Structure 1
Amino acid sequence: MIKLAIVIPYYKLTYFDDTLESLSNQSDKRFKVYIGDDASPENPERLLEIYKDKFEFVYHRFNENLGGTSLAKQWERCIGLTNNEDWIMVLGDDDVLDKTVVASFYKNEKIFYNKTNVIRFATKKIFGSKVKEDDAFTHPIWEDAADAFYRKFNKTSRSSLSEYIFSKETFLKYGFYNYPLAWNSDDRAWLDFSDNKPIYTINESCVYFRISDYNISGKKDNILLKNKSEIQFYKFIVFNKLNYFNNEQKLRLLRRYQAELRRFRSLKISDFFVLLYFYLKYINIRWIQKFFKKIMNKLFNGKRKHGKS
């Protein structure tokens, strides 16, 4: 029988009781929780004492804070606490599962077994302490990872780390890429972890993910780091994943990479030629003409400045 580990990278006490309560309310207790305390100033042990007989968990406090410099590496060292479980969920310390999530996972085992490496659930949002009262956000039952990502890119879908369960085997093969703030680390993970198999969705149960001033999604002061992450992530898409998309999607992803570069700094000549290579490869005459114009302007302006000096 497959086994499920629920991994919680812990740092903040606010709303953590809600997370633990949702685990204690699971109708199916065939899971083990691993809590990795990232040297938090808010000790959760008194709260954990309340739940010691309600579900099985391991609590480990790390001596050094890692999430402050590399959130993706903190996720990985928390996963390192697990034992012989086959599947892993990384649950935010303020996110919540409805009571049937684990039961639905095992109920669907016969359908997804050996056919996928990545499973996701329907979701609802919590703003602060208030659940948004709307229908659950659902997905196609089977979907290619590239299609799932592109729907999010196109703002017709959404995605959060907590709503996924993934195989430990594929995690060990790829790991989480260490982007700044782990921004896009989960999006890249589903493209990698899927390993050419479709994502399977369980729409009958919900994961509630929270947006608040206490988490990265709710903060407004991380713009520069998020922009650096966007550049790195879309460079990865352009150089490694474009073949998974159709030509129209490829061109939109190229333009996004170009836009993120320009948001961060002026384009270099090397940037122009890299992007021109891909535009030529996928033949978009209008964008090629724009590129030649920009390249000539940049070369002309560079020569003019050099002549003045």
Structure 2
Amino acid sequence: MLAIIIPYYKFTFFEATLDSLAVQTNQRFKVYIGDDASPESPNDLLEKYQRKFDFEYHRFEENLGGTSLTQQWERCIALSSNEEWIMILGDDDVLGENVVEAFYANLLEIEEEGINVVRFSTQKIDDEGKFISETYYHPRIENSVDFLFRKTRSSLSEYAFKKEQVLKIGFKNFSLGWYSDILAVLEFSNFKNIFSVNTAKICIRISNKSISGNDFNLELKTKSTFDFYYFLLSKKSNLFSEKQKRELFSRISKSYLNDKKKINYFFKISIICFKNNDFHQYCNFLLSVFRSLKISLNKLKI
């Protein structure tokens, strides 16, 4: 059976999320709502859905998402029972009415292929629920490493994960959960295949109340971006081709150049190069640093 986990904090769009669960054409799922000590109680709203779908609500007395979003996800997952698959649905995102039905329609093939990560098509919506992007479709079966290098978007809400993988591996605790979901896709799939269900869609809300929809915490986002690529290069480099490693190195270098105040980033990148005996890459990195410093100095003179 499928568990839908909702780490709850924001009330503003929560009713739309619940409405999308109530109208699912297949009701073979259970919802677990973990209230992260929100100042906006959803109790009155939840009364409206008591007989519309199966759910459990639990209020945590201590806010955790403010310091570690991934730990909030994990304690909400711990509320679930013996379900084999889980989705972690944002409290502002919306399921298309056939998402659960489409999941079960493909489940036999998913399990025969030994796949641990399922992905649905997505479309961005704004505060008013209006579409603000095209629909994002994916190859039916795609290697998760290939997905990392394919230019596209991603959100935690659009995935279903084999629960045993989630419990065994867990989420990496990057600041704001930024890139924690991407790494989860890679690790939960064992850096192997993802199964895409393109016949059902999840709407991802982009608003000034969401982490991805505002420009706050840019420093923390930069840090998480760096930490993500550093983890891949320092812990998982054997899973990538030489070409892919060069691309990862380019991305982590760019992350450092966006915030050169972090001198420890410079040393971490240097260590990666020396460990891999990649002096050519290191020379290119140093040249990029010098060019960037020169541009900055010229701007100061002006």
Q: TM-score, normalised by structure 1?
A: 0.87
Change (3 A) 1:125 1:136: same
| C-alpha deviation, 1:276, in angstroms | 3.0
Q: CA deviation at 1:294?
A: 8.6
Q: Is the 8 A contact 1:272 1:295 kept in 2?
A: no
Cα deviation, residue 251, structure 1: 0.8
| TM superposition shift of 1:175 | 0.5
- Alpha-carbon deviation of 1:133? 6.1
Deviation at 1:245, TM superposition (A): 2.9
Which moved further from structure 2: 185-194 or 107-116? 107-116
Aligned partners of 1:251 and 1:279 also within 8 Å: no
8 Å Cα contact 2:229-2:248 kept in structure 1: yes
Do the aligned residues in 2 keep the contact of 1:254 with 1:275 (CA within 8 Å)? no
**Distance in 2 separating the partners of 1:191 and 1:32:** 26
User: Does residue 261 of structure 2 align to residue 276 of structure 1?
Assistant: no
Structure 2 Cα separation of the partners of residues 189 and 247 of structure 1: 23
Q: Which 10-residue stretch deviates more, 168-177 or 259-268?
A: 259-268
Q: Conserved in 2, the CA contact under 8 Å of 1:118 and 1:200?
A: yes
Secondary structure, aligned partner of 1:113? helix
Q: Would the alpha carbon gap of residues 214 and 291 (structure 1) be closer, same or farther in structure 2, given more than 3 Å must change?
A: closer
What do the CA deviations read for 1:75-114 (whole angstroms, capped 9, x no partner)? Answer: 0000010000000000000100011000000000111015
CA–CA distance in structure 2, aligned partners of residues 126 and 291 of structure 1? 39
In structure 1, distance between residues paired with 2:129 and 2:43: 26
Counterpart position of 2:295: none
User: Bigger shift: 168-177 or 247-256?
Assistant: 247-256
Match status 1:233 vs 2:228: yes
The residue identity in structure 1 corresponding to 2:228 is F
Asked if the contact 1:279/1:288 (under 8 Å) is kept, the reply is no
Find the residue that maps to 1:216 and give its secondary structure: coil
Name the CA shift for 1:49/1:275 in 2 (closer, same or farther; >3 Å): same
Q: 1:38 to 1:27 in 2, by over 3 A?
A: same
Offset of residue 117 of structure 1:
0.5
| 1:148-159 → structure 2 map (5 Å cutoff) | 148-151=147-150, 156-159=151-154
Q: Distance in 1 between matches of 2:13 and 2:285?
A: 50
* Counterparts of 1:270 and 1:95, CA distance in 2: 40
CA RMSD of aligned residues (A): 2.2
User: Within 5 A, what are the aligned runs for 1:258-269?
Assistant: 258-264=253-259, 265=261, 267=263
Give the alignment of 1:103-252 within 5 angstroms.
103-114=101-112, 115-132=114-131, 135-151=134-150, 156-252=151-247
Moved more, 92-101 or 215-224: 215-224
AA matched with 1:15: F
Shift of 1:252: 1.7
1:257 CA displacement? 1.3
Question: Aligned partners of 1:266 and 1:66: how far apart in 2?
Answer: 27
Give the secondary-structure state (helix, strand or coil) at the position aligned to 2:7.
strand
Other structure's SS at 2:146 match: helix
Report the count of equivalent residues.
288
- Name which one, 1 or 2, has greater alpha-carbon Rg: 1
Inter-partner Cα distance in structure 1 for 2:251 and 2:289 = 19
Q: CA deviation at 1:221?
A: 1.4
Equivalent residue, structure 2, for 1:60 = 58
Structure 1 residues 120-169: Cα deviation after superposition (integer angstroms, max 9, x where no partner): 00001101113216642100011111111111xxxx21110000000110
Contact in 2 for aligned 1:128/1:210 (Cα 8 Å): yes
Q: Report if the CA contact (8 A) 1:280-1:288 is conserved.
A: no
Match of 2:293 in 1: none
Paired residues of 1:179 and 1:229 also in contact (CA < 8 A):
yes
The structure-2 alpha-carbon separation of the partners of 1:43 and 1:132, relative to structure 1 and needing over 3 Å to count, comes to same
Structure 1 stretches of 4+ with a deviation exceeding 4 A read: 266-269, 291-296
